Each structure stands twice: as structure tokens, then as C-alpha cells.
Amino acid sequence: MNTWGPNAVTVPDLRILQGGIQWGCMADVLMEFDEQLQTNDGFLYAVQACGAPNSAGLWEGWIEFIPLNGGPTLRSPRETTQPNRADAEYWATGLSAIYLEGALGRARSPIVRQPTVPAEPLFDEPAPVLVARKGISSADAALDPFSVYEKGEVILRQRLDALSSWHLVNIILAYELSAEPAAVLNKMSADALIELIVAHLRENTRLE
């Protein structure tokens, strides 16, 4: 049995691992306090600070409360993480009575952490890039394709055939008949532009 610091005892801990038997260290009592704490409901506790190395080799410290007149044995959540045992012991020597009272409150009313639900995306891809229709409005279009289409598809085609390609592009942009940008539309033939306009109107307009 080895003694470290004031009233602290290190006890060998025999641990069974897959590879056989390994000696390690159990939790240590770093400090026993002379002060006894009494709760409002009459329970009296002796107090001690304890610590143990974690899986990363750092020392975690907590406070334990031993009942002297009934009631449950309590421990606080982790109160500190120190690089080694000596620093954990030094931490314990600086704990005040007010700090211990707070630790007792945390031990009697531990914080319950709700599990975090992983966030999930609402979409499978980013929003499409919107191309600004700069300077193009229905007033710039040579005709209203919706109005003409109501008179019949044949009439619309006749009116469109009489227009140049840039007029057709302006109609498409002004009335948002396609998601293609102007740079793409300007490379299309007049016949292709007419078919694009007519196809859009067929899908989005019901003739009487």
C-alpha cells in the first residue's frame, strides 16, 4: 500500500484483459475534508475528493459524499481534468467549503443531457443557379405568345416564323419560357427556338 499526499491511498487494481492480467490503478482519494455538509432536509455528509486516470492518461476529478446519518452515497460529475495525479491532488487541496456545497448540489440534482438527434438535409442537391433576365420584359417582346396561342397553334407558328432569332430569344426570356440562359438560346436556330416556345405553351396552356 502506497500513500500519496494528505489522506490519499493508492490501491492496486487487478484488471482482466483479453491478453491476460494487467496491473493498473483504481480511483484515488485525493483529499478528505474536515468539513461536513448538511442538506436542508437533514442529511449529513462526509466529503472527499477523488480522481482517476482516463483512457487518454489525463486525471479526472470528482467529489464524493458519504452519508453519516442515512441517505444515499453521492458523487458529483467530473469537476476537473488535470494532466497528472500531482496536479489533480493540488486541485483538491484548493477546494473551498462553498465549492463543495455546489458540488453536493450537482450530485443531488445531476444534469440530464438529452441525446442529440443528427441533423438531416432537406434537399439532395443545391439550389439551381438563377440567371438574371437583365433588360428583358414583356414590353421588349415582339408578341405575347400566350395571347396568340389562344387563337391557335397554327397562327402562333405563322407569327413566329416571321420573326428573327433574336426576337424569338427575347420572347422566351421575357415570358420565361425556358430555364436556358441567353447565351445558350442565342446559339439555337430559329426553328429550334420556335419549337421550344410551342412546346412550353402546349404544356402550360389549355386551349378552349
| Predicted confidence (pLDDT) per residue in 40-92, tens digit | 888 999 999 999 999 999 999 999 999 999 878 999 999 999 999 999 999 99
Q: Report pTM.
A: 0.45
pLDDT of residue 204: 83
One-letter amino acid at 91 equals W
Residues 6+ away with beta carbon under 8 Å from 78? 60, 61, 62
Task: Report the distance separating Cα 37 and Cα 60, nearest Å.
Answer: 23
3-class DSSP state of 190: helix
pLDDT tens, position by position, 156-185: 999 999 999 988 988 988 888 888 888 889
Phi, psi values for residue 158, rounded to 5°: -60, -45
**pLDDT tens, residue by residue, 103-156:** 999 998 877 777 888 888 887 878 765 444 455 566 678 898 988 888 899 999
**What per-residue confidence (pLDDT) applies to 195?**
94
Let me know if 24 is exposed, middle or buried by CB neighbors in 10 A (0-12, 13-18, 19+).
Answer: exposed
Cα distance between residue 157 and residue 170, in whole Å? 16
